[in-house]
Amino acid sequence: MAEKSDEFVITRVFDAPRERVWKAWTEAERLKQWWGPKGFTVSHCTVDLRPGGVMHYCLRSPDGHDMWGKFVYREIVKPEKLVFVVSFSDEKGGLVRHPMHAKWPMELLSTLTLAKHEGRTTLTLQWSPLSATDSERETFDAGHASMQQGWGGTFDQLADYLKRS
């Protein structure tokens, strides 16, 4: 298990029912509408929502560069919790290093929880390096501020999608 200092946590409250937020995270056609950094589009997304199943996706940057990634689901508690391993991948789903940082951990354990409260949903996302070297853990720890910014933009897109859906 990762040490506490390695954990990255971000929380956001969405003005949408928990079931709608769950569907946005677990259905490919919905993920295509909001997933990824601002300015990126999802050119490919498949979801096999079961323990051992995979979400495999491709993000296309504004300049046309493709970046593949995947989730391997470990635990699914509908509609309140997803536990999955996050990694960069190639087009066939094989693990690859971060395209812009050679010392980024190959895999991250992610826990997504959705708590309902008066028609709104509190989303908490926790990430920690999985089987990482000391150097990879240091890189992950040093990246927390940029992850806050990146996830903030992604969550803005999710909030906009939830308003439209």
The total of structural domains in the chain comes to: 1
Query: Does the pLDDT value for residue 2 go beyond 50?
Result: no
CB contact at 8 A, 24 and 1: no
The CATH number given to whatever domain includes residue 156 is: 3.30.530.20
Give residue 126's domain range: 4-164
Could you report the per-residue pLDDT of 14-29, keeping only the tens digit for each? Answer: 999 999 999 999 999 9
Could you report the per-residue pLDDT of 31-77, keeping only the tens digit for each? Answer: 999 999 999 999 999 999 999 999 999 999 999 999 999 999 999 99
pTM for this predicted structure: 0.93
Residue 6's pLDDT band, with cuts at 50, 70 and 90, is confident
> Cα separation of 131 and 107, whole Å?
8
DSSP string, 132-150: --HHHHHHHHHTHHHHHHH
Residue 1's pLDDT band, with cuts at 50, 70 and 90, is very low
CA angle 120, 121, 122 (to 5 degrees): 130
> Cα separation of 142 and 30, whole Å?
32
- Residues in Cβ contact with 5 at an 8 Å cutoff, skipping those fewer than 6 apart: 141
